[in-house]
Chains A and B, each alone.
Chain A
Amino acid sequence: MVSLEDFYSDDPIAWCPGCGNFSILKSLKQAFVDLGKKPHEIVIVSGIGQAPKTPHYLRCNAFNGLHGRTLPVATGVKLANHELTVLAQGGDGDGYGEGGNHFIHAMRRNVDITYLVHNNQVYGLTKGQTSPTSGEGFVTRTTPQGSVNRPINPLLLAIASDCSFVARGFAGEIDHLSELIRKGITHKGFALIDILQSCVSFNRVNTFKWYKDRVYRIDEDPEYDPKNRLMAFEKAAEWGEKIPIGIIYSTDRPALNSQIPAIKDEPLVKQRVDPSDFVDIFEMFR
């Protein structure tokens, strides 16, 4: 029914040649095709950075908003019309820096959206400054002596917040990433997919090869149980010689949009209102 061509966009791409974002775009389109989602049934809300340009490069509804504010906008979209497939998407600076507060609260709300963070451990669009996930010692124009701050581990933060779906993908493993995105969309609740993405222009440390040499799939380990929170903490803390990718943690809890009486019967946007419905509302003031 739906094919990759349906997602074609003629907007010229403004990424650097060799950027990890190209592979993420491919995985994303493939996930939509595999799910049979039509472009008009999807809304992608993105922030500002190189990563958040993504929705322009495929065909779907897009809201390319402010730096750091993707999650509130996406939450508003989903609550207004929960029949839409809603994704939020941005970089590590956008999501874990400028939007850090929203990130914590989106996980707490567990609204049914899928959040893709293109994590290149650097501010790309502003030309290479340290980000919340930059490694210690990472030298940038804003950290000429090397970053002395401990990087955020988004997965640990997410598991601690009882985020209902926590995954890590790698832009170099397109099919695997596409599967994660598909599962994230199918998951009923907030799904975080942190995506390791090389930045060819500003991150000479965490290169494609650097990631490639380290990542391994946890779904190949039959012993690993993503429902086990303690196990998940341990797995999420792993970073260095080996870096796990796959679904690190998942738990079933009701999504925010399934718990609101106002939208039990139909989404807000389908509800018709007539001012004359409200003649009785004034009685309490008389």
Chain B
Amino acid sequence: MTVDISIRICGQAGQGIQSISAAMGKVFIRHGYYVFINNDVESRIRGGHNFDQVRVGHEPVNAVNDKVDLLIALDAETRDADLPYLKDDGVMIYDDEKPATDSKNPHHIPIPLEKLASKAGGSKIMANTVATGAAFALLKFELQPLQDHLKEVFGDKGKAVIHQNQTCAEAGYRFVQQHFKGNFPYPLDTGKFQRNKMLLNGSQAMALGAICSGLKFYSGYPMSPSTGIMEFIAALGKEHHIIMEPAEDEISAVNMVIGASFAGARAMTATSGGGFCLMVEALGLAGMTETPVVVINAQRPGPSTGLPTRTEQSDLKFTIHAGHGEFPRAVFAPGNAELAFFAVSKAFNLADRYQTPVIILTDQHLNDSFSTVDGFDLDQITIDRGNILNDKDFSSASDYKRYALDKSGVSPRIIPGRTEAVLYADSDEHTEAGHITESAAVRNRMHKKRMAKLKGLRKEMNAPEIYPSRKGDIILLGWGSTCGALKEAVDQMNSQDMSTRLIHFSEIYPFPECDFSEIISDHTKIISVENNYSGQFADIFSHETGLAISHKILKFDGRPFTAHEIISVVKERL
């Protein structure tokens, strides 16, 4: 039987939920499983109701499940809130000091988590490690891989800390072996140790994509859910010769990035909606001065501060249009961590080749969720810096004109200091030489030149993914991080004889050239699925393709879609 189980670990912020999910994730991928972990946290440092949900399977898992098979409750209040999400045959473990209402249920297992932690580890803070051990015992997974993991994680904290944690894990493991007489329905076979899979979140994937593509300069200002990117780059900066300069605000961050890029370094910044708002004037500056920049906008629910730690896809129209005046740009919205890795790489190449901003639009669900990737093929990454001139390329340095007119819209750049030539870059409308102008004729020529880049950019955009290849009377339409849930929904609908297909866009603007005549007929029902209130992508899709949307499934509560949820709405509406 193929395994596909979900485990929810709930508790207060500060109780170590993420150490449990990280331990499970790491150990399971190292024994051949696919893992997907999403986190659902409140915007606070201590307390509150938070959970991580670990989904583990033999087959790739890329979305959240509605119901869980195992609930690990570190705290009584969150336990009671999350109990409704436990399947009927599911099992719960919780601290016995805080009795559950339904304490007769043999599947509700009280464990003295804090007491065991104090006894075995010397501090009740290690209750999370006891719980991890207990969960491993329930899953009938061997203890040793967990112990090895703890040794690795606490390696730099010294032998004593490793020992305390291992003793705690063992205490939880033994407790369950001795006291749990029931049967957990979905045991996980330990299998063989292997290291051919990776577990990483979208922020890490994008930071890696940037580093492997030659990122040299990053500046940013912390804002969830983008902060992980800057922290990761900062951590690796010394080893890989990258500058990560913490900015005083997002305006500074993006302007520093523009400066570094003007000087010739590959440069990037990332933020979320509020910070992106502050960057908008400078996006136009990059467009006008024709400076390549890559900006990641990791969305969260707005407006204003919104729900800081949750997910939404409501900046789409804003991102496509952000800025006063008109200038060319490209906007990507990768569907998962793997696509996000390569999206960054492509973004850098397009930014350099078209000398204009490229924006990657993600969201909290993509940035923070961990998924399993077999690996990234570095052969697929090329670094193309675009048209850059050196001294040998011109006869006289004084003739160089930064904004020389060209049909493609792209004029050759120089890197300041590398040649005898100099360049003038200007945010005012300017002549070919880069000097300020008021001429109507020059304005027309220059504006057309810049906007001509959109034509080239459009050809670069990948068409949407169509999944699966066979026909479908129902089309689910989506973009960005909903990809995993949508594919799962399509699979399930097809297995229930609802012939369905997915059209999923990871590259959005300029809208890719695509032809749907083969797959869409008059009978096809197109249902758009988006994490926003108004169906922003549905509008764009209809506008670009002339195709009508039959239904919109919209969600803006800050939580990611599940396949089950999508299917039930489809059934209700059709």
Contact = CB atoms under 8 A, between A and B. Distances in A.
B195 A269 contact: no
Given A76-B255, A269-B415, A275 B243 contact: no
B411 to A, nearest CB: 16
Interface stretch (B197-205, B508-516, B533-541): B197-205
A105 B125 CA distance: 40
A60 B236 CA distance: 35
Interface stretch (A39-47, A147-155, A185-193, A215-223): A39-47
Contact of A285 (B200, B216, B238): B200
Interface string B404-424: 000000000001111111111
A11 interface: yes
Contacts of B376: 282
B498 interface: no
Given A60-B422, A81-B416, A84-B416, A282 B262 contact: no
Residue of B214, B260, B415, B416 most packed against chain A (CB within 10 A): B416
Contact of B256 (A62, A76, A282): A76
Interface string B166-202: 0000000000000000000000000000011111100
Contact of B263 (A76, A104, A262): A76
Contact of B427 (A65, A76, A80, A105): A65
A255 interface: no
B493 to A, nearest CB: 33
A169 B476 CA distance: 67
Contacts of A56: 424, 426, 435-436
Given A56-B424, A79-B260, A73 B212 contact: no
B211 interface: yes
Nearest to B266: A273
Nearest to A48: B427
B243 A260 contact: yes
A66 B285 contact: yes
B59 interface: no
B37 to A, nearest CB: 13
Nearest to A81: B263
A55 interface: yes
B42 interface: no
Nearest to B204: A285
Contacts of B257: 76
Contact of A102 (B252, B267, B436): B252
Contact of A80 (B267, B378, B420): B267
A273 B263 contact: no
A269 B424 contact: no
B109 interface: no
A73 B197 CA distance: 41
Interface string A1-37: 0000000000100100000000000000000000000
A40 B391 CA distance: 12
Contact of A73 (B258, B281, B416): B258
In this complex, the member of B379, B417, B421 whose beta carbon has the largest number of chain A beta carbons within 10 angstroms is B417
Contact of B260 (A71, A77, A276): A77
Nearest to A84: B417
Contacts of B285: 65-66, 69
A80 B426 contact: no
Nearest to B253: A72
Contacts, number: 200
Given A73-B256, A268-B260, A62 B238 contact: no
A72 B269 CA distance: 13
A16 B562 CA distance: 66
A43 B260 CA distance: 12
Chain A interface, DSSP helix/strand/loop, else mixed: helix
Most buried by B among A71, A72, A282: A72
B145 to A, nearest CB: 14
A248 interface: no
B interface residue count range (under 10 / 10 to 19 / 20 to 34 / 35 or more): 35 or more
A166 B337 CA distance: 48
A48 to B, nearest CB: 7
Interface string B206-217: 001001111011
Contacts of B29: 286
B428 A72 contact: no
Given A61-B422, A275-B378, A79 B245 contact: yes
A63 interface: yes
Given A40-B422, A80-B267, A75 B256 contact: yes
Contacts of A83: 417
Nearest to A266: B241
A263 B51 CA distance: 41
Contacts of B240: 262, 278, 281
A268 B267 CA distance: 10
A231 to B, nearest CB: 30
Contacts of B289: 63, 65
Contacts of A268: 216-217, 241, 243, 260, 265
A261 interface: yes
Contact of A76 (B219, B241, B415, B417): B219
Given A40-B417, A40-B422, A80-B265, A65 B255 contact: yes
B425 interface: yes
A273 B264 CA distance: 13
Given A84-B416, A262-B238, A62 B424 contact: yes
B242 interface: yes
Interface of A: 11, 14, 38-41, 43, 45, 48, 53, 55-56, 59-66, 69, 71-81, 83-84, 101-102, 104-105, 109, 260-263, 268-269, 271, 273-276, 278-279, 281-282, 285-286
Given A69-B282, A80-B267, A101-B252, 16 more contacts: A40-B397, A64-B425, A66-B255, A69-B251, A72-B219, A72-B247, A72-B256, A73-B255, A75-B245, A76-B217, A76-B259, A79-B243, A105-B252, A281-B208, A285-B198, A285-B200
Interface of B: 29-30, 195-200, 204, 208, 211-214, 216-217, 219, 236-238, 240-243, 245, 247-249, 251-253, 255-265, 267, 281-282, 285, 289, 375-376, 378-379, 381-383, 397, 415-428, 433-436
14 contacts: A40-B397, A40-B417, A40-B419, A56-B424, A61-B422, A65-B255, A65-B427, A72-B251, A80-B265, A81-B263, A101-B249, A261-B238, A269-B418, A279-B378
